[in-house]
Structure 1
Amino acid sequence: MDEMRKLRQSISNLDKALIRLEEALMEDTNNSLIVDGTIRRFEFTIELYWKTLKRMLQAEGIESKTPRETLKEAYQAGWLQNDHLWLQMLKDRNETSHTYDEETALRILKNIKSYFPEMKETFIMLKGKVEDDDRL
């Protein structure tokens, strides 16, 4: 039962992170602090996504170790619609975590804006799955 409580908490944390990312995406991206903050919120949100998916997979008896493996398993489970897009999100998150220059930041910011609808749609589906699961 403790794992199910943790899963619900993961969904709640992910919900809050998406709201904060959406807030950042509505700000003036001509300000470098906004760009940096938006990218940081994206990094945090992607971390929560893969960890939440990993926890959901564990509840189904599926083990995954890495973020990439978790996304692939979630795609196989039918929880992600576009595995290539999610793997690109992970690549962008890794790139921003390890290198930083303004050109890269602006390119990734543009990507984040295009990713957000998929992120939000996926969250709605995952939240519904957790809420509808009678084991939870």
Structure 2
Amino acid sequence: MEEDRKLKQSVRNLEKSLLRLEEALNDDHDNSLIVDGTIQRFEFTIEFYWKTLKGLLQAEGIEAKTPKETLKEAFQVGWLENEKAWLQMLRDRNETSHAYNEELALQIVKNIQGYFPEMKQTFFNLREKGKL
């Protein structure tokens, strides 16, 4: 019961973070505060994604401990279409949280713009499959 409640909250958080990320991606990225905010929202979204996927996998009896393991398992069960893109998103998230330089930040925002359709589509696919 508690796990079910946690999973539902995780899904709500994920959905909100996707909406907030989309807002940020529609802003002017010439402003460094917008760039920073977009990256922060991306970090939150990736965090919510892997934790939600981990919970969904757990409900299926599949144990995954790390974000990378979780993404790989989610790909194996057919919940993610592009494993390579998701693993790159994870690498970008890890890079942004350990170091900051403006050139890298702008490149990552560009990457996020490319990732976002995959992130959004994955959410809809999971919902259609009755996982969310």
TM over 0.5: yes
How far has the Cα of 1:130 moved from its partner? 2.6
How far has the Cα of 1:5 moved from its partner? 2.0
Q: How does 1:1-136 map to 2 (within 5 A)?
A: 1-128=1-128, 129-131=130-132
**Separation in 2 of the partners of 1:125 and 1:9?**
19
How far has the Cα of 1:127 moved from its partner? 2.7
**Separation in 1 of the partners of 2:94 and 2:11?**
22
Deviation track 1:59-96 (CA, whole Å, cap 9, x = no partner) reads 00000110000000000010000000000000000000
Aligned residues: 131
Contact 1:8 / 1:130 at 8 angstroms: preserved in 2? no
AA paired with 1:111? N
Please report the RMSD computed on the Cα atoms of aligned residues, expressed in angstroms.
0.9
Q: Unaligned regions of 5+ residues in structure 2, if any? A: none
AA paired with 1:123? F
SS in structure 2 at match of 1:81: coil
AA paired with 2:32? S
How far has the Cα of 1:125 moved from its partner? 1.7
Give the alignment's TM-score, normalised by structure 1.
0.93
Q: Percent identity?
A: 69
Q: Unaligned regions of 5+ residues in structure 1, if any? A: 132-136
AA paired with 1:42? F
Contact 1:14 / 1:49 at 8 angstroms: preserved in 2? yes
**Separation in 2 of the partners of 1:45 and 1:39?**
10
Structure 1 consecutive aligned stretches of length 4 or more whose deviation exceeds 6 Å: none
Bigger relative CO (Cα 8 Å, ≥ 6 apart): 1
How far has the Cα of 1:126 moved from its partner? 1.9
Give the alignment's TM-score, normalised by structure 2.
0.96
How far has the Cα of 1:3 moved from its partner? 1.4
**Separation in 2 of the partners of 1:65 and 1:126?**
21
